[in-house]
């Protein structure tokens, strides 16, 4: 039976910083649940509370049948926690790291190979290499192997793909899906909005608040505006000019183009844009209707626009 999590009205401040402002949510058994948010959102603070490494100022959380305020020993038994950094011993080899963690939990790599094998196989060819000499992606696979060694029912992974190259990020998410298929409930945080699509449900966080919680499909379906994607030869003045146009609710730089959110019909808005920009010297002006992706939904919800 996979475990569920209940988080109720959690608050946590560090001196004058409110890291978590009344956070409540539930994670279902065996869910792959993502916490998406920029630096300072409160992701790490929430994970430290769930692993009972720190206490909330108020509120409570239950991990399965256990209470984070009281049952920290039990919670540590059933949880595999991969902190953002430094869970490995860099001067030990890959194999020594695994065996070290196994020993802590009075078990062995061999006893758990059925669970860890999918992950460990990918780093086994380098088992004699020092962990410090691994690539970012391989370090994370080793850290995941170590977090799995005591057969946790819950995995909590704090930004496991930050700073990892695109191919290794994809491989890491494939491994998470495999671990989910083995019945593990997974909480994962990431600053990469595109990774939201890989989760069953996500919470978008900013500055200690949860802005929305839903499946990635629902978040995209509920997007309230139409989007026009605009490009030209001069992107910087284009951004400024587009924000001035009537009916432009929000305007963001989005990769190679600019996304303009509007309530108006898209053809009318396209006319507005062409009229307003005529005579301003733009060349190669290209305006296309764009279907929303999860980044658009998040940008629309966030207080201060972040560049995608």
Stretch that binds ligand ADP, among 41-49, 118-126, 145-153, 290-298 (CB under 6 A): 41-49
Between 93 and 190, name the residue whose CB sits nearer to ligand ADP.
190
From the list ligand ADP, Mg ion, none, partner contacted by residue 19 (C-beta under 5 to 8 A by kind): ligand ADP
Residue 224 CA from chain centroid, whole number: 23
DSSP element (H, E) containing 99: helix 94-104
Stretch that binds ligand ADP, among 35-43, 60-68, 173-181, 229-237 (CB under 6 A): 35-43
- Which residue is at the shortest CB distance from Mg ion? 44
Q: Which of 21, 25, 40, 99 binds ligand ADP (CB under 6 A)?
A: 40
Least distance (Å) from ligand ADP to the CB of residue 143? 17
Contact 189, 43 (CB under 8 A): yes
Least distance (Å) from ligand ADP to the CB of residue 55? 13
CA dihedral over 154, 175, 180, 200, signed as positive or negative = positive
Sheet order of strands, 257-262 included: 248-254, 257-262, 226-231, 286-290
From the list Mg ion, ligand ADP, none, partner contacted by residue 251 (C-beta under 5 to 8 A by kind): none
Number of other CB atoms surrounding residue 66 within 10 Å:
20
The reply on whether position 45 binds ligand ADP by CB under 6 A is: yes
Least distance (Å) from Mg ion to the CB of residue 161? 13
Q: Which of 3, 36, 44, 98 binds ligand ADP (CB under 6 A)?
A: 44
From the list Mg ion, ligand ADP, none, partner contacted by residue 164 (C-beta under 5 to 8 A by kind): none
Q: What are phi and psi of 274, to 5 degrees?
A: -60, -40
- Report 20-39 residues binding Mg ion (CB under 5 A): none
The beta-strand segments (E) located in the chain are 5-14, 17-27, 32-36, 58-63, 66-67, 79-82, 154-157, 185-190, 201-206, 209-214, 226-231, 248-254, 257-262, 286-290
Binding positions for ligand ADP, rule: CB under 6 A: 14, 17, 19, 37, 39-45
């Amino acid at each position: 039976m996979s475990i569920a999590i209940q988080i109720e009205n959690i608050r946590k401040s560090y001196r004058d910083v409110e890291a978590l402002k009344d956070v409540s949510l539930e994670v279902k058994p065996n869910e792959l649940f993502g916490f998406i948010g920029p630096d300072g959102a409160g992701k790490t603070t929430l994970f430290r509370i769930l692993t009972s490494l720190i206490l909330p100022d108020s509120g409570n959380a239950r991990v399965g049948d256990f209470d984070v305020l009281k049952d920290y020993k039990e919670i540590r038994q059933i949880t595999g926690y991969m902190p953002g950094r430094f869970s490995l011993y860099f001067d030990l080899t890959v194999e020594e790291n695994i065996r070290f963690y196994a020993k802590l939990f009075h078990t062995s790599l061999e006893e758990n190979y059925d669970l860890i094998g999918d992950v460990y196989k990918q780093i086994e060819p380098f088992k004699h290499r020092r962990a410090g000499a691994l690539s970012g992606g391989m370090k994370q696979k080793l850290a995941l192997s170590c977090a799995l060694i005591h057969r946790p029912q819950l995995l909590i992974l704090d930004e496991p793909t930050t700073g990892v190259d695109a191919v290794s990020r994809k491989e890491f998410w494939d491994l998470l899906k495999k671990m989910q298929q083995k019945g593990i409930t997974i909480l994962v945080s990431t600053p990469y909005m595109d990774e939201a699509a890989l989760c069953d449900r996500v919470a978008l966080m900013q500055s200690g608040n949860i802005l929305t919680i839903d499946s990635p499909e629902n978040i995209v379906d509920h997007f309230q505006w139409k989007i026009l994607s605009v490009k030209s030869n001069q992107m910087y003045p284009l951004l400024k000019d587009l924000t001035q146009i009537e009916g432009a609710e929000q305007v963001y730089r989005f990769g190679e183009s600019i996304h303009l959110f509007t309530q108006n019909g898209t053809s009318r808005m396209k006319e507005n844009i062409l009229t307003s920009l005529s005579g301003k010297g733009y060349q190669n002006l290209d305006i296309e209707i764009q279907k929303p992706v999860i980044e658009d939904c998040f940008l629309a919800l966030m207080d201060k626009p972040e560049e995608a």
